[in-house]
A and B are shown apart, each in its own frame.
Chain A
Amino acid sequence: MIELLLPALVIFLLLNLAAGMVRVARGPTAADRMLSALLFGSTTVAILLILAQWMNEPALRNVALLFVMLAAIVSLAFFGMPRDDADDGEQR
């Protein structure tokens, strides 16, 4: 039963991710597209963890760990540290 549930959940999460990617196409802003990267990160981690259990491959958990650490760095790299851009658009 569990052996069936795990792959089914992986497929469900993949479909979910595909649906979320509609947002990339629709936009309308760059921030909206960045949201899909967030969705991609959190979904991929869940998929990797489920696969680790299903295929009895604990090493995949380490891959998920790496992914989740990259997720934070990706958005930092994309938008820069908050202090760097503090002079544009904050005079209110």
Chain B
Amino acid sequence: MADSAANNAIRPATRKQRWTWAVQIFVVLLLLWLLLNGLDRFLAGLLAAAAGAGLGAWLVSGQPHPWKPHRLIWFAGFFLWESFKGGVDVAWRAMHPGLKINPCFSSHCIDLPTGQPRTLMVATVSLLPGTLSADLSEDGRDLEIHALMPEAMASVERLEAWVAWLFSIES
């Protein structure tokens, strides 16, 4: 959630990218409306979703990164499983009579472009087993991670690979 506009290498989004972005927001907002309100007053929901999509496309900063919906499903699966393990892991450590933790800080250089990929990375690190994104450097490259035990750092690399795959980023 931490970085958006502060980086110097931001190019404005093209018209096509803004349209794609708008359509994606529109679909999500409309689904949310249907979920909360059902089918009555559908027209109002349509208008509200369109307004939200327009606003989102207008305000988008930098280039939105294209992502593939079927990859998002796999990513969600990976994330769910990891956060499940994270919960079980930390619960076990908290309940263990000997408190099996060895907390430490460790810095990780993020090898992802600014915008959505990096934001997603910083946001999801906190829910992996044993890692917590504690701080981000001024330029948004170095992520300071707090780990419950040094071994937990290994999963950060895997997460980064997953995020790169989701946004089809070549490395």
Interface residues, chain A, CB within 8 Å of chain B?
Answer: 62, 65, 82-83, 86, 90
Contact = CB atoms under 8 A, between A and B. Distances in A.
Interface of A is mostly: loop
Contacts of B1: 82
Interface of B: 1-3, 5-6, 36, 135-138
Interface of B is mostly: loop
B6 A83 contact: yes
A90 B139 CA distance: 11
B35 to A, nearest CB: 10
13 contacts: A62-B36, A65-B36, A82-B1, A82-B3, A82-B136, A83-B2, A83-B5, A83-B6, A86-B6, A86-B138, A90-B135, A90-B137, A90-B138
A86 B137 CA distance: 9
Nearest to A65: B36
Contacts, number: 14
A62 B1 CA distance: 25
A82 B137 contact: no
A59 to B, nearest CB: 12
Nearest to B122: A82
Which of A65, A83, A90 counts the most B-chain CB atoms under 10 A from its CB? A83
A43 to B, nearest CB: 15
A83 B140 CA distance: 10
A47 to B, nearest CB: 19
A83 B6 CA distance: 8
B168 to A, nearest CB: 27
Contacts of B137: 90
A62 B40 CA distance: 17
A82 B138 contact: no
A90 B3 CA distance: 15
Contacts of B36: 62, 65
Nearest to B136: A82
Contacts of B135: 90
Given A82-B1, A82-B2, 6 more contacts: A82-B136, A83-B6, A86-B6, A86-B138, A90-B135, A90-B137
Nearest to A72: B1
